[in-house]
Amino acid sequence: MRPENPNPPENAISTYSTSPRRVRKRPLLREASITWLLFGCALVSVLTTVGIVVMLAVQAAGFFRQVSVLEFLTGIQWTPLFDPQHFGVLPLVGGTLLTAGIAILVALPVGLASAIYLSEYARDSVRRVLKPMLEILAGVPTVVYGYFALTFVTPLLRSVFPNMIVFNALSAGLVMGIMIIPMVSSLSEDAMVAVPRSLRNAAYGLGATRFEVATRVVMPAAVSGIVAACILALSRAVGETMIVAIAAGSTPNLTLNPLESIQTMTAYIVQISLGETPHGTLEYYTIFAVGLLLFIMTLLMNLFGQWFVRRYREKY
């Protein structure tokens, strides 16, 4: 089928007189099996989610066979290890939300202010130095933050509030807030940087100062991204474990007073995991019930954050 190869031009150096023959075997089988192998890798991530949902549900079912969902979600006493046993999860949820709330109160203004500075004020060279420094905060292991909360922040706070208990929501919340500053800052900054130059230029052209441009033009335009940043940071704070396990206490306590000891959902799971609770008992299943609730809460927050951005993002 191939035509005869004519003589090669004189200036070519060639030690072969016939065209090279393709010696590759039919690669279709190999290509197909590689494609399937790679698809299998991608499947792992899907199976992970399936696994989380199934495992949590199956194990939590062991709990809900004996305790009604209503009691779980509306009860205000959580004493699964004591007599009489109560299985109302609200104190744990309250502890989680209290510490997470304090964290956001810290991280939101600081993170937002950092984002404004980095996106509207800082020169490129300055930005290149400051941004990584902020990122380092996110890379510190949470046990270290927990240690810091217990051994440094708590004594410091107790000098201001002498009747504060050693294990309290405030220390943990503050340190958690520091931990999530980079998240609020970086996501807000992304939202602000995405606002086009032309909007800023229009405002400058009308005689606005840099502060006015930042607060009256850029921030409102980026508000959907900023809100999403907060929601995602809140979700992160809700899911945080070690800081609260070390510094916030292990007393389920439904309160708004940050100076008191509380226990979060995550800290409870850690407490039981470390204990001698045997498998298959109701006490054992409680960690999966709480875990399921935690998973659902953070998932809803993450999905809401993503949906919020999609819905309210300014189209440029």
Partner 1 sequence: MRNGFPFKRRLKVRQVKGGVFRTMFLAATLVGTFVLIVLIVDVLRDGAGWLDWQFLTSYPSRRPEEAGLLSALFGTLWVMAFTALLSFPVGIGTAIYLEEYAPDNRLRRLIQTNINNLAGVPSIVYGLLGLSLFVQALALGRSVLAGAMTLTLMSLPVIIIAAQEAIRSVPESHRLGAFALGATRWQVVRNIVLPSALPGVLTGTILAMSRAIGEAAPMIAISALVYLTFIPTNPMDRFTVLPIQIFNWVSRPQEDFQHLAAAGIIVLLIVLLGMNAAAIILRNRYQQRTEE
Partner 2 sequence: MENNTACLETNGLGLWYGKFQALRDVSMTIPHRRITAIIGPSGCGKSSLLRCFNRMNDLIPGSKVKGEVLFDGRNVYAPDVDPTEVRYRIGMVFQKPNPFPKSIFDNVAFGPRVNGITDNIEERVEGALHRGALWEEVKDRLHKSAMELSGGQQQRLCIARTLALEPEVILMDEPCSALDPQATLKIEDLMRSLAEEYTIVIVTHNMQQAARVSDMSAFMMMDPDRAGTLVEYGPTSTLFTLPKDKRTEDYITGRFG
Candidates 103, 130, 109, 133; CA nearest to 188 is 109
Interface characters, 135-164, with partner 1 (x: CB under 8 A): -xx-xxxxxxxxxx-xxx------------
Q: Would you say 88 and 72 are in contact if contact means Cβ atoms under 8 Å apart?
A: yes
Site for partner 1 in 43-102 (CB under 8 A): 44-46, 48-49, 51-52, 55-56, 58-59
Q: Residue 87's beta-bridge partner residues?
A: 78
Q: What angle do CA 289, 292, 293 make, to 5 degrees?
A: 90
Site for partner 1 in 184-223 (CB under 8 A): 185, 209-212
> With respect to partner 1, which residue has the nearer C-beta, 81 or 256?
81
CB of 3 to partner 2, least distance (A): 7
CB of 35 to partner 2, least distance (A): 15
d(CA 209, CA 195): 17
Q: Would you say 228 and 112 are in contact if contact means Cβ atoms under 8 Å apart?
A: no
Residue 22, interface with partner 2 (CB under 8 A)? Answer: yes
CB of 38 to partner 2, least distance (A): 18
d(CA 170, CA 261): 9
CB of 10 to partner 1, least distance (A): 27
Q: Which of partner 2, partner 1, none binds 237 (CB below 5-8 Å, type-dependent)? A: none
Q: Which of partner 2, partner 1, none binds 160 (CB below 5-8 Å, type-dependent)? A: none
> With respect to partner 2, which residue has the nearer C-beta, 23 or 133?
23
Site for partner 1 in 280-309 (CB under 8 A): 287-288, 291, 294-295, 298-299, 302-303, 306
CA distances in angstroms from 76 to 30, 91, 155, 255, listed in the order given: 61, 6, 31, 11
Q: Would you say 293 and 300 are in contact if contact means Cβ atoms under 8 Å apart?
A: no
> With respect to partner 1, which residue has the nearer C-beta, 76 or 206?
206
Q: Which stretch binds partner 2 (CB under 8 A): 13-21, 163-171, 190-198, 269-277?
A: 13-21
Q: Which of partner 1, partner 2, none binds 242 (CB below 5-8 Å, type-dependent)? A: partner 1
Site for partner 1 in 121-140 (CB under 8 A): 121-122, 130, 133-134, 136-137, 139-140
> With respect to partner 2, which residue has the nearer C-beta, 30 or 210?
30
Q: Which of partner 1, partner 2, none binds 295 (CB below 5-8 Å, type-dependent)? A: partner 1
Site for partner 2 in 23-42 (CB under 8 A): 23-25, 27-28
Cβ–Cβ contacts within 10 Å for residue 90, how many? 17
Q: Which of partner 2, partner 1, none binds 288 (CB below 5-8 Å, type-dependent)? A: partner 1
Site for partner 1 in 242-261 (CB under 8 A): 242, 245-246
Rg (CA), the chain: 28
d(CA 75, CA 90): 6
CB of 308 to partner 1, least distance (A): 14
Chain residues that interact with partner 2, rule: CB under 8 A: 1-3, 5-6, 8-9, 11-16, 19-25, 27-28
